[in-house]
Amino acid sequence: MLPIGEYIQAIIGIMAIFSPFAAIPIFISLTSSCSEKERNSTAKTAAIAAGIAGLVSVWIGQYILIFFSISIAAFKIAGGILLLLMSINMLNAEVPKVKNTKSELEEAKNSSKEIAVVPLAIPLIAGPGAISTIIIYSEKSNHISHLIMMSLIIIGIGFYIWGALRMSNYINKRLGITGINIISRIMGLLLAAISIEFIISGLSMVFPFLIQK
């Protein structure tokens, strides 16, 4: 187990990158022709799919890195750069481009296929940045208790995603585009700081002499 402060940092970091608020306008758009029951079902499925993606990252993410012979230092640097780019988009109140493209969203909107998993859960909510963040936090300890704690955090955030999407119309009416953008910018600022920490940590592992003792 890690110190409680480490888990609080993990919760904040994962919540920032998993933030469903940026997905609310797209969620409303994609489910505009659905009934309330169908919209709630879509929100539930999206939250479950995002949670499953997070749990898979917790338990087998490290083994994927080992399989591809990727060092955690390199992954931290790459993940940090990816998060930094995403945070810049969030600070500009834009949907991070690494998560989807305009053509993908149009295809999803005009398709009769299930939209809860793709593109809502993956890659809109649980995109490459979210998966990278979870793997980096999960790698801090191989002890089973740490992985269980990370799993509980992911499950809790899954409920947070479900609640936010389920209340999307209410949140959109109360906060409006401006309010949602403000939240997105705050999350982006937190994410930018976390991304720099990842980059510094990765560089310090590659170049230990950078750390002054």
pLDDT tens track of the chain, all 213 residues? 889 999 998 998 899 888 787 788 888 888 877 888 989 999 999 999 999 999 999 999 989 999 999 999 999 999 989 889 888 888 887 766 555 556 655 655 555 446 888 878 887 889 888 999 999 999 999 899 999 999 999 999 999 999 999 999 888 888 888 888 888 888 888 889 989 999 999 999 888 876 654
- What pLDDT score was predicted for residue 103? 63
With tokens 């990727």, the residue in question is 70
- What pLDDT score was predicted for residue 102? 60
d(CA 29, CA 39): 11
Q: Can you read off the two tokens belonging to residue 18?
A: 């998993």
User: What separation in angstroms does the CA of 19 have from each of 10, 26, 84, 121?
Assistant: 14, 13, 15, 11
- Please list the helix, strand and coil fractions of the chain in percent, rounded to the nearest 5, in that order: 80, 0, 20
* N- to C-terminal Cα separation, the chain: 26
d(CA 85, CA 98): 9
User: What separation in angstroms does the CA of 191 have from each of 26, 53, 56, 140, 168?
Assistant: 21, 20, 22, 19, 23
- What pLDDT score was predicted for residue 11? 93
Contact 188, 88 (CB under 8 A): yes
Whole-structure pTM value: 0.83
d(CA 8, CA 29): 33
